[in-house]
């Protein structure tokens, strides 16, 4: 089963379905990680039919592997993090939501496979470390992390980069973008100071250099090359 943990556009679930036709049952691909009981029931019914068709009538119709697919991670914190003595992030929300279904729809010790099409070295290391710690506290599941491609740390732009480039990035930075409070302050290198020169075809990550995606509010404010469609919008803020 595959479930897009990001947007359907970013996770390319439509392409995933087409490319795996005949390999993965189309009825087991879900375009959202938020799955209702009714949908789980439908998925189980389809699994039962598939098992019967393949001569496994005695096999239990529960899912032993669940794949969560997302497009991109730069810091890793959106996927999993530990804050104020609590686990947070997409993975924790998903596991908490499906925990009541273990035994009914999901096999005990099911494997949760988290795959990103693109990630950074920083995100890969952070997710591996945190998921390992998370797995020790969540005994109902096993976890596997994978990436199609990992960006080398060499692509990151920070204060050690070319002096003229750093000066350009900082001198044209407009602090008005910090009204979106989740960003932090002085984020000329992007959210989490990831400093990425990355643009995705469906959106610009806020982990990229702010000049690439952020629009300032002042008369001489920066104008982005590839404006980002914001997901976190403050009341009254235009995007």
Q: What is the pLDDT of residues 128-169, one digit of tens each?
A: 999 999 999 998 999 999 999 999 999 999 999 999 999 999
118/165 same-domain check: no
77/92 same-domain check: yes
Summary mean pLDDT of the chain: 87
48/120 same-domain check: yes
pLDDT on residue 231: 60
User: Helices marked H in the chain — which ranges?
Assistant: 8-11, 13-19, 37-53, 90-98, 121-137, 163-171, 210-213
45/163 same-domain check: no
pLDDT over 80 (residue 239): no
SS3 235: coil
SS3 155: helix
142/160 same-domain check: no
107/209 same-domain check: no
123 — pLDDT class (breaks 50, 70, 90):
very high
In a domain, 227, yes or no: no
Of 153, 168, 199, the last residue of a domain is: 153
85/116 same-domain check: yes
175/147 same-domain check: no
61/96 same-domain check: yes
> Could you give the percent of the chain with pLDDT greater than 90?
68
* Over residues 177-197, mean pLDDT: 89
Distance CA 234, CA 174 (A): 17
pLDDT over 60 (residue 118): yes
> Could you give the percent of the chain with pLDDT greater than 70?
90
In a domain, 142, yes or no: yes
Query: Contact 205/198 with Cβ under 8 angstroms?
Result: yes
100/203 same-domain check: no
pLDDT on residue 6: 41
* Over residues 10-25, mean pLDDT: 78
15/105 same-domain check: yes
* Over residues 172-198, mean pLDDT: 89
pLDDT on residue 41: 96
> Would the pTM count as exceeding 0.85?
no
Per the structure, the count of domains in the chain is 2
> 54 or 182, which is more confident?
54
In a domain, 228, yes or no: no
pLDDT on residue 10: 60
191/83 same-domain check: no
Which tokens in the block code for residue 121?
């070295």
Of 153, 181, 200, the last residue of a domain is: 153
In a domain, 209, yes or no: yes
Q: What CA–CA distances, in Å, run from 139 to 127, 142, 157, 178, 220?
A: 18, 8, 39, 39, 54
Helix 121-137 × helix 90-98 angle, to 10°:
30
* Over residues 216-235, mean pLDDT: 73
Which tokens in the block code for residue 31?
């375009």
pLDDT over 60 (residue 5): no
* Over residues 189-201, mean pLDDT: 92
Domain, as residue range, for 108: 2-153
């Amino acid at each position: 089963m595959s479930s897009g943990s990001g947007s359907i556009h970013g996770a390319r679930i439509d392409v995933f379905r087409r490319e795996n036709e005949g390999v993965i049952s189309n009825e087991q691909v879900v375009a959202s990680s938020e799955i209702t009981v009714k949908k789980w029931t439908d998925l189980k019914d389809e699994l039962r039919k598939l098992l019967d068709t393949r001569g496994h009538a005695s096999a239990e119709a529960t899912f032993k592997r669940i794949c969560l697919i997302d497009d991109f991670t730069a810091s890793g914190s959106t996927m999993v993090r530990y804050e104020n003595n609590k686990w947070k992030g997409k993975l924790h929300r998903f596991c908490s939501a499906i925990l009541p279904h273990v035994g009914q729809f999901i096999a005990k010790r099911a494997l949760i496979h988290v795959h990103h099409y693109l990630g950074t070295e920083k995100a890969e290391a952070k997710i591996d470390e945190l998921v390992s710690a998370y797995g020790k506290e969540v005994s109902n599941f096993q976890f596997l992390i994978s990436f199609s491609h990992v960006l080398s740390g060499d692509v990151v732009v920070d204060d050690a980069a070319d002096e003229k480039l750093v000066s350009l990035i900082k001198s044209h930075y407009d602090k008005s973008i910090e009204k979106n409070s989740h960003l932090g302050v002085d984020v000329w290198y992007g959210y989490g100071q990831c400093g990425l020169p990355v643009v995705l075809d469906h959106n610009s990550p806020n982990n990229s250099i702010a000049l690439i995606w952020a629009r300032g509010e002042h008369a001489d404010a920066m104008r982005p090359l590839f404006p980002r469609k914001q997901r976190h919008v403050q009341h009254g803020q235009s995007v």
